[in-house]
Structure 1
């Protein structure tokens, strides 16, 4: 079970690095090549969205079917363990949401750069006429 969260955490880290790489100022030719490379990688990287969605559903199901430890019968260690699992679930939900949000941001950044590139070509053609 922990392997899924490690995989998702590394995916989020890579997405953050890619988003930073796309947003830092760089020469036009280098930016164009980076955007084209990332655009090629985006479609296979789409797996992160359904994977994160499945993980969120798994967390929700486990939360609904978990034994609640809120009464006076629970010991302190049981209450601590219950709270720890809640904190882990909250952390994992944030991780899933970040994975989807970062994927969307990278997708939009690439689309904006491609649109700017296309508009620059149109402007260049108009100037040549």
Structure 2
């Protein structure tokens, strides 16, 4: 299970780096090339949405079927283990949500740049006429 979260954390870190690269100001030619490169990566990277969604469902299922340790019968070790599992589930939930949200942000930034480029070409054609 830890390998899944490690992969997801690396993917989220890569998405953060890509989002930062896309939002930095560059010359137009370099910006077009970066956006086209990232756009090519977006289709295969869409699997992160399904993967993170599945992980969210797994977190939800485990949360619904977790043994509660709130009575006086629980030892301090059991209570600590229970609280640690709750914190890990919350952290992993935030990681999944961040992965989905960052993918959507990158998709929208690329779409925005492509639409802007298309409108600039359209404006240039109208000026030439």
Corresponding residue number in structure 1 for 2:92? 92
Corresponding residue number in structure 2 for 1:16? 16
Q: How do residues 104-115 of structure 1 correspond to structure 2 at under 5 angstroms?
A: 104-115=104-115
Corresponding residue number in structure 2 for 1:125? 125
Give the C-alpha shift of residue 114 in structure 1: 0.2
CA RMSD of aligned residues (A): 0.4
**Counterparts of 2:123 and 2:65 in 1: how far apart (Å)?**
59
Unaligned residue ranges in structure 1 (runs of 5+): none
What TM-score comes out, normalization by structure 2 length?
0.99
**Offset from partner CA, 1:17-42 (integer Å, 9 cap, x none):** 00000000000000000000100100
Corresponding residue number in structure 2 for 1:29? 29
List structure 1 segments (4+ residues) > 2 angstroms apart after TM superposition. Answer: none
What TM-score comes out, normalization by structure 1 length?
0.99
**Offset from partner CA, 1:41-72 (integer Å, 9 cap, x none):** 00000010010000000011111111100000
